[in-house]
Each structure stands twice: as structure tokens, then as C-alpha cells.
Amino acid sequence: AVAGDPDQTGPTHVFNLGHGISQHTPPENVAALVDAVHAVSRQLRA
């Protein structure tokens, strides 16, 4: 598949935190959020 080719990559989206996250957010929470977004992305592309 060619990057950016919607016929080959399935639905796409951009996950944006808006104003960001607090510098005090535990890194493991950020990792869990990224993992969750990636999981949803995989489901959308299945």
C-alpha cells in the first residue's frame, strides 16, 4: 500500500490532544492512551 492512499489503507484519522497534556501526566498513562488509539486504528482498518 502507498502511504496516504485511502483506497489501500482504509479509514484514516488524526488523534489530536488539542492543548496537550499536563507535564505531570504519568508516562504509563500516555502510553496506554497511545496504545488505545492504535488499537482503534487497527479495528477501523480491518
- What residue segments make up the domains of the chain, in order of their start? 6-45
Q: What is the DSSP letter of 25?
A: S
| Distance separating alpha carbons of residues 46 and 44, to the nearest angstrom | 6
One digit per residue, pLDDT tens: the chain, 46 residues? Answer: 445 555 566 667 788 887 889 999 999 999 999 999 999 888 888 7
Q: What is the pTM of this model?
A: 0.66
- Position 7 scores a pLDDT of 58
- The residue type at 13: H
- Position 1 scores a pLDDT of 45
